[in-house]
Structure 1
Amino acid sequence: MPTDAYVLGLDTSTVATVGLARGGTVLGRATAPDRMRHAEQLIVLVDQVCAEAGIDLRDKTLDRRLVVGVGPGPFTGLRVGIVTARTLGLTLGVDVRGVCSLDVLAAQAVAAAAPAGEFVIATDARRREVYWARYDAAGRRLAGPDVGSPDSVPDLPCYGPATAVYPERLTGAGPELILDGGAVAAAGPELPDVGLEPLYLRRPDAVEPSRPKSVLATNRRRS
């Protein structure tokens, strides 16, 4: 990706967060903490960061790109972020790159804490579980993403939102890191492209009901 491109980054794997960057420098960022209103908040945040940077993404003379975090995260939140990114990409006529949201947090951890060796990123998956992945000191993913109990996470320094939820069950819990839309935009172009399929890691809670059993067939077996 050209370093002079304006990159809009979106992520809804935890909170709704948006950022705008150019050449790795963050030009604007905005986050809305209400997890229940992603659909209402996301476009508002996009308008906010563009206004902050004085950029109109509809200007076709600009080199523009989109990066979206695809999780892991809850079904509804991820769907909102990815659908919004796809729609913006079609509207603006620009490419959309999907990145693992945990990879973004790993880039934030490297910048903020400079880990001396391998470390783990963990986010709250609810149901007393966490989403996690293991990284080397440079922030390259070595294992995961996966979902499981906090006790299943490797015994390594840990960063991410889950450290505030399970401080006693995650070894070496470091500073709580909240996913930053500015980091999605700044680091996203250099992170592995994982496509635009959401990383649920779980089956959605809402599933199609199974076909009801035939009462007639049951009665025939009994007769």
Structure 2
Amino acid sequence: MSFVAPEQADGSLVLALHSSSAVLGVGLAQGQVGQNQVGETIAVSRLSRAFPLDRALSNHLFTAVEEVCPADQWPRITRLAVAIGPGGFTGTRLTVVMARTLAQQLGVPLDGVCSGLLIARRLQIQEPTWLVQELPRRGVVAGCYGPDVSAWGGVIELEAARLYGSGLDLPPGPQLPAQPELPGDVDQLLDMACLAAAEGRPGPWQPVLPIYPTSPVHPTSSVAQQ
């Protein structure tokens, strides 16, 4: 879904955060969010960056976000979006906590989106497809996604991501690697947030929680929400 600059703009900002992999993605859209004459979501301008921080995320998260959206501009944020995983325990949790805190303090909507949905949307899958991520010595995390023109963002989660023993344990169907790509996936997240704003979708911050391949409390469980 492309973005086209309209003639008039306001100063509102939409901020998107994605840290479900070793790379942090930060996206920012500015201006009047709406739809153009062919139904595409529009915003005046957008910027997305990828930061390969890996384990240094906890020390550099705020610095990276401020490179895209300085803190003195945060009061202009009118909507936030965050990838909720599946992903690493620390990385996913940090951006979700930051997004929840900003949404609460600013009193703005927050969209939490599964990283698998973002990958499926980027890949433009045309049939129900399993997105599979291998976990060393643990098995695979896999979820099934398919196109649905009536769904938010045009993609629907048919089977929630969970832990399987191996790819052989999955139900029949096409399989693709669940490999995040940044900043491409944060662009998808930003698109969905702008579409949600254009549609006036509610976005309470309270239900937005990270999901992990395995629970830190019950290591043998499937994908758990903490």
TM-score w.r.t. length of structure 2: 0.66
Matched, 1:152 2:166: no
- In the TM superposition, residue 44 of structure 1 has moved relative to its aligned partner by 2.1
* Matched positions, count: 182
Q: Confirm whether residue 37 of structure 1 aligns to residue 50 of structure 2.
A: no
The structure carrying a bigger strand percent of its residues is: 2
What's the counterpart of residue 15 of structure 2? 8
* 1:80 aligns to 2:94 (yes or no): yes
Choose from 196, 199, 202 the match for 2:208.
Answer: 196
Aligned to 2:47: 28
Residues 174-223 of structure 1: CA deviation (Å, up to 9, x unaligned): xx74562222222245589793222124221799xxxxxxxxxxxxxxxx
* CA distance in structure 2 between the aligned counterparts of 1:79 and 1:10, rounded to whole angstroms: 11
CA contact (8 A) 1:72 1:145 kept: yes
Question: Alpha-carbon deviations, 1:40-95, whole Å to 9, x = none?
Answer: 232222222236xxx96334xx4611111111122212211111112322443423
- Name the SS for the 1:143 alignment partner: strand
For structure 1, the residue ranges without an aligned partner over 5 or more in a row are: 162-175, 208-223
1:120 corresponds in structure 2 to 130
Segments of 5+ residues of structure 2 without an aligned counterpart are 4-9, 34-40, 149-154, 220-226
* CA 69–40 in structure 1, closer or farther in 2 if over 3 Å, else same: same
Q: What secondary structure sits across from 2:74 in the alignment?
A: coil
8 Å Cα contact 2:26-2:186 kept in structure 1 = yes
CA gap of 1:201–1:28, structure 2 versus 1, over 3 A, is same
Cα distance in 2 for residues equivalent to 1:126 and 1:109: 25
Q: Call closer, same or farther: CA 1:105–1:145 in 2, change over 3 Å.
A: same
Cα distance, 1:177–1:119 mapped onto 2, change above 3 Å: farther
Letter in 2 for 1:44: T
Q: 1:124 to 1:205 in 2, by over 3 A?
A: farther
Name the CA distance, whole Å, in 2 between partners of 1:33 and 1:153. Answer: 31
On the 8 A contact 2:79/2:193 being kept in 1, the answer is no
Alignment TM-score, normalising by the size of structure 1: 0.66
Counterpart-to-counterpart distance in 2, 1:109 and 1:134: 13
CA positional deviation for 1:36? 0.7
1:127-162 per-residue CA deviation (whole Å, 9 max, x = no partner) reads 35332211123421111111222333443041431x
2:128 is equivalent to residue 98 of structure 1: no
1:57 aligned counterpart, secondary structure = helix
- Matches of 1:130 and 1:189, distance apart in 2: 32
- The alignment's C-alpha RMSD in Å is 3.3
AA at the equivalent of 1:16: L
SS state of the match for residue 55, structure 2?
A: coil
Q: Distance in 1 between matches of 2:135 and 2:195?
A: 26
Q: In the alignment, does 2:198 pair up with 1:180? A: no
Q: Percent identity?
A: 27
Note if 1:141 corresponds to 2:141: no
